[in-house]
Amino acid sequence: MTGKEFKYNARIIAFGKYVPDKVLDNKYFESIVDTTDEWIITRTGIRERRVLEKGATSDLAVNAIKDMVRRFNIDLDTIDVLIVATVTPDMFFPSTACVIMDKLEMEKSWGFDLSAACSGFVFACSVARSLIGGGIYKRVLVVGADKMSTITDYTDRNTCILFGDAGACVLFERTENKSDGILDEVLYCDGSGRNSLYMLGGGSLNPASHETVEKRWHYVYQDGKAVFKVAVIGMAEVAYELMARNNLKPDDVAYLVPHQANLRIIEATRERMGIGPEKVMVNIHKYGNTTAATIPLCLVDYYDEGKLKVGDNLILASFGAGYTWGGIYLKWSVE
Residue 289 falls in the annotated catalytic set: yes
Catalytic (active site) residue 210: no
User: Taking the mean position of all CA atoms in its chain, how far away is CA 128?
Assistant: 15
How far apart, in Å, are the Cα atoms of 237 and each of 91, 191, 227? 35, 18, 15
Burial of 71 (0-12, 13-18, 19+ CB in 10 A): middle
d(CA 57, CA 37): 28
Q: Respond yes or no: is residue 259 known to be catalytic.
A: yes
User: Which position among 259, 262, 298, 313 bears the catalytic label?
Assistant: 259
Q: For strand 139-147 and strand 313-320, is the pairing parallel, antiparallel, or unpaired?
A: unpaired
Q: Check 9, 26, 63, 118 and give the catalytic one.
A: 118
Q: Which among 283, 289, 298, 313 is annotated as catalytic? A: 289
Other beta carbons within 10 angstroms of residue 67's beta carbon come to 19
CB 113 within 8 A of CB 84: yes
> Contact 92/102 with Cβ under 8 angstroms?
no
Q: Residues with catalytic annotation?
A: 118, 259, 289
